[in-house]
Amino acid sequence: MESVKERALTAIKARKDLSPPMISVYNLLRIGKVETWAGQCCDRIADANLIDMEDVQIDFINMPGLCLTADGIMACQDILESYIGKDTIRDAFKWMCSEESINADVNTAVQVLRGLNGWRLRKLYREADSLQLSEGINARELIREEMHQRSPFMALARKVKKEYRLLPVRRILLRTKMSSSQ
């Protein structure tokens, strides 16, 4: 996993909070060395109507598959226990909870930075040496990145990047629209 500093920088650059960490059912079953049953396990979870697209999500990258948050692990615990031991599930749950806690702390810190106006942010930057942060995180670096991401140039760069990602989708939609009108 990423370090706390990398997570904070990611959240600052994306201008969004970090999403909760997820683990795929396949990887969870691989820990118990029963990954060959992942498809059947996912089918049982789907048949039990546990897919809520928050804590239990469809893994579109590794179809057919599901991804679980810590709450998703608990929701699917009875089905998962059919394939892997309770100790493995408990360990995975504890690990996911600790990751969620780290993400929540990072999100809180980043929201505080986002909530400060420019003057207060510059003042905090000057006083950053007195701030105590864990794991060798340099407060000045995070504040500097927040000020950098607020610049008009970076806002424009984010907008261009977003539009560039949508360009292939727009081309496909334009082609289908033109072919249907003919």
| Domain regions of the chain by residue span | 4-116
DSSP 8-state class, residue 21: P
Alpha-carbon 120 to chain mean position:
29
Percent above pLDDT 70 for the chain: 89
Output the six-digit token pair for 67.
């991804």
Question: For 125-164, how does the pLDDT look when each residue is reduced to its tens digit (9 = 90+)?
Answer: 888 776 666 666 778 888 888 888 888 888 788 788 777 7
Question: For 40-78, how does the pLDDT look when each residue is reduced to its tens digit (9 = 90+)?
Answer: 999 999 999 999 989 999 988 877 789 999 999 999 999
Name the pTM for this structure.
0.75
Residue 23's H or E segment, with its range, is: strand 23-24
Residues paired with residue 56 on neighbouring β-strands, in sequence order: 68
Which of 108, 139, 109, 135 is CA-nearest to residue 124?
139
Q: Is the pLDDT of residue 1 over 60?
A: no
Supply the pLDDT for residue 150. Answer: 86
Supply the pLDDT for residue 173. Answer: 67
d(CA 33, CA 123): 54
